Amino acid sequence: MEQGSLFENNKKINSPLADRMRPRNLDEFVGQRHLLGRDRALRKLIENDSITSMILWGPPGVGKTTLARIIAEKAHAHFETFSAVLSGIKEIKEVMKEAEERRRYGRRTLLFIDEIHRFNKSQQDAFLPYVEKGDIILIGATTENPSFELNSALLSRSKVFVMNPLTPEDLVILLKRAVSDKERGLGKLKIEAEDDILYRIANFANGDARIALNTLEMAALSCRPTEEGTLHITDPVLEDVMQKKTLLYDKKGEEHYNLISALHKSMRNSDSDASVYWLARMLEAGEDPLYIARRMIRFASEDVGLADPRALEQAVAAYQAAFFLGMPECSVNLAQAAVYLALAPKSNALYMGYNAARKDAMDTIAEPVPLHIRNAPTGLMKQLGYGEGYKYAHDFENKIADMDCLPENLKGKQYYLPTEQGMERKFKQRKNYLETLKKVERDE
């Protein structure tokens, strides 16, 4: 829990640059123009002091906490922060009691909950009566999809605002501001940084202002001053500071599903370059290579099928390679499979055929297996007609008999409808040919 003034005038000299450079008002706030641009809804609500409870959903470092502080300042409300990681029901009740008392004296309480998705259902429910009574204005920040992580009662009482990653241009604005600001930034240090250096930092930060500003500060402090006292941030300095980029990824959260969807749909659209890129994004962020390989095996039958029967072989081989080698060695094996699947001719005939058969299996009456295609291992079964009328395909010249194998209520149904793509054209020709032979047998 944190109480007190919103913006301390006496910041500690060793406070991180990202903390010192927090925007103090909407005019200093960078990014989120879809929410805070002139005449946009959220900006109007803030400026008109009409704020209600809300959820700010977005990746780290886009200004969720800062925006909540600005809102509280504008509303002249008492500002309380809660960490869902550190707080429980007891702390919630204490804060709610204080908010209720404060409201009696005409002062509102703005309660900011960081990582609200970490609260369980009962903890989330504890806020509801106070939100409904107006004792608090609740602003929750989350990096996870609220639809999955927050209960419906809390969602129905809160407006969800989606905050986007900052663009490189947004981040460069913040970096230039920090370089020139002598009061809160690095303006007293005589820093020289070309635009391309600032854009490198911005790209490295991946939409996160905190990472961008702290990287700039580390780079400045790593420089050796010239005789004139100038700190020149160069490529070698940046390389040393940045080391390896950390990609935003939650193997159990929404980003996990976003990226696997991007890989799947890129392969489906025969885009081999995008397929390799999304594969790399997942692997370098720490995704389990066997998970990706399993999805490729599914893709090989769902989206390629018999248009290229070898697609399934490639996918299974990639899984085996990933199992035996692990990361990072198996990355190229998975890349090979991704490119093969992307460039393979596409057919969803098997996928559609199975779904149609599944629907009939679930939605129609489950008629008994026709007697003529049942086994008859006992005398009683033979007496009951099991196997009677069965036609052994190998006894016929073309190895096919005029015999219905579907239940009576589904006779004539077709589930596998091959396309003209790749090898499937041959399977289509073969299927049509066999249908013709059946008709010949029937006519004879």
Q: Is residue 234 part of a domain?
A: yes
Q: Is residue 358 part of a domain?
A: no
Q: Given this model, what pLDDT does residue 250 score?
A: 58
Q: Is residue 349 part of a domain?
A: no
Please give the tally of structural domains in the chain: 4
Query: DSSP 3-state assignment of 110?
Result: strand
Tell whether 381 and 287 lie within a shared domain: no
Distance CA 371, CA 307 (A): 35
Q: Is residue 182 part of a domain?
A: yes
User: Where does a domain end: 145, 162, 179?
Assistant: 162
Element (H, E) at 98: helix 89-104
Distance CA 112, CA 150 (A): 15
Which residue range is the domain that position 224 belongs to?
A: 168-242
E strands, 175-242, in order: 191-192, 231-232
Q: Given this model, what pLDDT does residue 62 score?
A: 92
- Strand-pair category, 159-162 with 109-114: unpaired
Residues contacting residue 159 through CB under 8 Å, at least 6 positions apart: 52, 53, 54, 55
Tell whether 299 and 332 lie within a shared domain: yes
Q: Is residue 10 part of a domain?
A: no
* Look-up of token digits 């392969």: 267
Tell whether 303 and 401 lie within a shared domain: no
State the CATH number of the domain containing residue 39.
3.40.50.300
Tell whether 37 and 147 lie within a shared domain: yes
Q: Given this model, what pLDDT does residue 391 score?
A: 85
Q: Is residue 26 part of a domain?
A: no
User: Where does a domain end: 106, 128, 162?
Assistant: 162
What residues pair up with 112 in beta bridges, in sequence order?
81, 139
Q: Is residue 124 part of a domain?
A: yes
Q: Is residue 25 part of a domain?
A: no
State the CATH number of the domain containing residue 233.
1.10.8.60
C-beta of residue 335 within 8 angstroms of C-beta of residue 279: yes
CA distances to 132, 135, 144, 184, 420 from 126, in Å: 11, 13, 20, 39, 60
Dihedral sign from CA coordinates of 375, 378, 380, 382: positive
Tell whether 54 and 158 lie within a shared domain: yes
Tell me the H-state helices in 300-371: 310-325, 331-343, 349-363
- Residue 363 backbone dihedrals phi, psi, to 5 degrees: -100, -20
Please list the ranges in the chain whose pLDDT falls under 50.
1-12
Q: From the centroid of its chain, how far is CA 266? A: 15
